[in-house]
Structure 1
Amino acid sequence: MTLDQYRSVADRLLGPWVHAAAKIGLSPDQVSVLAFGAAVAAAGAFAVGEPVFYIAGAVLVLLNGWLDIVDGALARHLEVSSDGGDLLDHVLDRYADIAVIAGFTIGIEAYALGFAAVTGVLMTSYMGTQIQAVGIGREYGGLLGRADRLALMGIVGVVAAVYSAPIVVGLNVVGLLLALFAAVGHLTAVQRFLGAWRDL
């Protein structure tokens, strides 16, 4: 399961956003910063843990995901793609992941589970870049890509706004999301490591 394979479909919907950004003079790096700002705002909303804030957080986290696609498309449109822009985008994506997961964690006060979730997500991303660093190529494989995680965050934000009671072993829908990120994140990191090890 990964939405990243449908990125080409999203690219076809980006035209108006890219042209609007170019028209008002935004650079790809500025769009990346705006995307990060949306993630931080989403984290703050999720940390409050109230229905209306869960809805706001869901909208903001999906905006983060969309702007994260726009920045690359804008760079290609303006023909200003650079290693620096790619580095900034990846760094801000990781900080955005940390912020949003932290917001969910604070909202339900499940700190150990939040720690497991954020380390799982970070190890997944780390393994992808580390595999590239040893010359095998960038690895995007796994059960949940970033697009999947953002979609799930948005969906869970909406669900949590209308139903926040415990579902399984005392965990509500947000707790279950964190548990999923923890389990799948570390499993994906191991999967990527073993695949790369075989290719060395």
Structure 2
Amino acid sequence: MTLDKFRPLADRALGPFVSAAKVAGLSPNGVSVIAFLLALGAGGVYAVAAREPLLYLGGAVLVFLNGWLDLVDGALARELNVASSGGDLLDHVLDRYADIGIIVGLAAGVSQWELGIAAVTGVLMTSYLGTQAQAVGLDRVYGGLLGRADRLALVGVVTGVAAFVPNALAGLTLVGWLLVVFAVVGHVTAAQRFYHAMRALD
């Protein structure tokens, strides 16, 4: 989870965006919903981008906006002093559906449904193990090779490059290889979290 190390730096850059959300009268939950809709939009763009690779650039922008607003909603909740368990639950549920929408869109675009299933289950199990640790009395686990911020950054960068490099490598496009990475690393990260949680419970 390399990008989470830069969370304090990102938090300092959020000020203008939090102020803009306040001026617009947006609630933290409203920002979460907008972020979710952007992720669905990215998935929709990715589903058709293989036919017009430059569309991958649009999807990449939507993914980066989703990730940024995912930071803004929490910062806005703290600024307004309205952070709540309900808001946290909504944020996590929408994040999971956003992950599904993006990965399904990627898989649909390159017609790699087997890889899509493997990738989405890896991502969901990673998130599940993180919150399940909390459910059994541990701190929420964020460790592992790939966290959500890392995944979104990878999606944005790889699909941005895919707009200009549509050719296949060893039978898979860049997007296909991205799904392979999510499938393998996602399940490895889930296993890491399970291992560390079990050790903490001993």
What is residue 90 of structure 2 aligned with on the other side? 88
What is the rounded CA distance, in whole Å, between the counterparts of 1:79 and 1:33 in structure 2? 19
Superposed, which structure 2 residues align to 1:93-108 within 5 Å? Answer: 93-108=95-110
- How far did residue 45 of structure 1 move? 0.6
Letter in 1 for 2:13: L
The corresponding residue for 1:136 is 138
**Is the contact between residue 54 and residue 164 of structure 2 (CA under 8 Å) also seen in structure 1?**
no
Q: Distance in 1 between matches of 2:66 and 2:174?
A: 21
Is 1:181–2:171 an aligned residue pair? Answer: no
Tell me which amino acid in the other structure corresponds to 2:99.
Answer: D
Q: Partner of 2:29 in structure 1?
A: 29
Alpha-carbon distance in structure 2 between the residues aligned to 1:40 and 1:29: 17
Matched-pair contact (CA < 8 Å) for 2:3–2:150: yes
Q: Distance in 2 between matches of 1:77 and 1:54?
A: 34
4+ residue segments displaced more than 6 Å? none
Deviations 1:45-90 (CA, angstroms, capped at 9, x unpaired): 1001222211100000000000000000000011110110000000
In 1: Cα distance, 2:139 partner to 2:18 partner: 29
1:19 alignment partner in structure 2: 19
Structure 2: which amino acid aligns with 1:8? Answer: P
Q: 1:5: Cα distance to partner?
A: 1.7
- For residue 77 of structure 1, what is the aligned residue in structure 2? 79
Return the match for 1:65 from 64, 67, 71: 67
Distance of 1:84 and 1:199 partners within structure 2: 27
Structure 1 counterpart of 2:62, one-letter code: L
The one-letter code matched in structure 2 to 1:146 is: R
> How far 1:199 sits from its partner (Å)?
1.1
Structure 1 CA distance for aligned equivalents of residues 76 and 37 of structure 2: 18
Residues of 1 paired with 2:102 and 2:2: CA distance? 20
5+ long unaligned stretches in structure 1 = none
RMSD of aligned Cα (Å): 0.7
Question: Could you tell me which residue of structure 1 aligns to residue 8 of structure 2?
Answer: 8
Q: Once the 2 structures are TM-superposed, how far is the Cα of residue 157 of structure 1 from its aligned partner? A: 1.2
Query: How big is the shift at 1:9?
Result: 0.6
CA distance in 2, matches of 1:5, 1:145: 11
Letter in 2 for 1:42: A
* Long gaps (5+) in structure 2: none
Q: Which amino acid aligns with 1:139?
A: V
- CA distance in 1 between counterparts of 2:24 and 2:120 reads 35
| 1:112 counterpart residue number | 114
Paired position in structure 2 for 1:171: 172
1:196 is aligned to: 197
1:108-155 Cα distance to aligned partner (Å, 9 max, x none) = 000000000000000000000111100111000000110000000001
Matched residues, number: 199
1:142 aligned counterpart, secondary structure: coil
Structure 2: distance between partners of 1:144 and 1:109: 24
Compute the TM-score of the two structures, normalised by the length of structure 1.
0.98
